[in-house]
Structure 1
Amino acid sequence: MGNERDRVYRYEGALNGLDDAVVLLAWKADEPMTPDHLHVVFDTDRELGDEEILRYDAERWTIECVFQQAKDQLKLDGYRVRHVRAVKRYGGVVLFACVYSIAESQPDLSSGLELLRSRKGHSVVEFIDDAAKQEIPIDVIKKQLHVA
């Protein structure tokens, strides 16, 4: 497992409604086995060895970074991903948002996102202006914009 994680405790068995699960507790050999020093990894494939599970977990963090960027840049922070099907759907939404942004602006993703955010801002202002002309109460406008 390399120099960083020298000790691993492995639990195999039932966990939270799953019949077969693996939980690894990993920590550096020169540090105590305390919550501050533990790295906990959960997996459902009991066939995998400790090193393989830890390697997959390390690679997963790269994917987590991509998800975080999508949440920040594409404003998809309200989307929860807990199931494999949801991950696939989320990936589809992210790809669609990227392709749409690029198609709208041509040069690149950043320019596309900037353009779409600008359009959204303009449409909000136009909506407020139209509502004010129709003398719609401000509380109704706030509720429709989800800012009440």
Structure 2
Amino acid sequence: MLKTNRILYPKGIAIQAKKFARYIEPNDTRLVTVGNERDHVYRYEGALNGLDDAVVLLAWKADQPMTPDHLSTDRKLSDEDILRYDAQRWTIKCFFRQAKDQLKLDGYRVRHIRAVKRYWAVVLFACVYSIAESQQDLSSGLELLRSRKEHSIVEFIDDAAKQEIPIDVIKKTAPCRLRGPLFVS
């Protein structure tokens, strides 16, 4: 996605994308259909801050006002391909947001490529396991597994109390039973 304050350089003049969009006339655009979606598209090819050669699609739904938002650095792609890739990218962005928020992907720091690959394997396993256990989506699966974790902790504390284990021993022992990125809440 392109931020609307991104600087474009049409004809060598620096201007924010949102301001540039105001100068685009309907006859400067073309109607593009991707799947069931119809968009008006203006294709800008040229420099951006930080990029010498990019393609920016200023695109908006056929029945809505203009909001510029599609960016590609591959000038060979057609407008349809850029919009199609952008639609797929949204699903990927949602997954990463969930992985960061719900699996704490952004809180784990590793430097070696081997450690990164191992951590990714654990995160992806947690995703697949959550989905398989719940037979639904990732959020539902994590909610189910977290509720199981909470029940396990309560059962552990209850069993320990029945055995008259001191509370300071319970505090030290209970968290060690259920650790790992899957169970981070």
Could you tell me the TM-score, scaled by structure 2's length? 0.43
CA shift for structure 1 position 9: 0.8
Deviations 1:37-76 (A, max 9, x none): x251111100001000000000011111211221122112
Aligned ranges 1:53-92 → 2 under 5 Å: 53-78=82-107
Q: Percent of counterpart pairs with the same letter?
A: 58
Distance in 2 between residues matched to 1:101 and 1:11, nearest whole Å: 39
**Aligned length in residues:** 103
> Which residue of the other structure, out of 45, 55, 58, is the alignment partner of 1:22?
55
Q: Whose RCO is larger (CA < 8 A, sep 6+)?
A: 2
* Structure 1 spans left out of the alignment, 5+ residues: 80-88, 119-124, 127-148
Distance 1:20 1:93, change over 3 A: farther
Do residues 13 (structure 1) and 46 (structure 2) align? Answer: yes
Aligned ranges 1:1-148 → 2 under 5 Å: 1-2=32-33, 4-33=37-66, 38-78=67-107, 93-99=119-125, 110=142, 111=145, 126=172
* Structure 2 spans left out of the alignment, 5+ residues: 1-31, 109-114, 134-140, 154-170, 173-185
3-state SS of paired residue (2:71): strand
Deviations 1:70-127 (A, max 9, x none): 1122112457xxxxxxxxx97763323344899xxxx968559x76xx7xxxxxx64x
Moved over 4 A (4+): 89-92, 98-102, 107-112
Distance in 2 between residues matched to 1:53 and 1:101, nearest whole Å: 28
Name the larger-Rg structure. 2
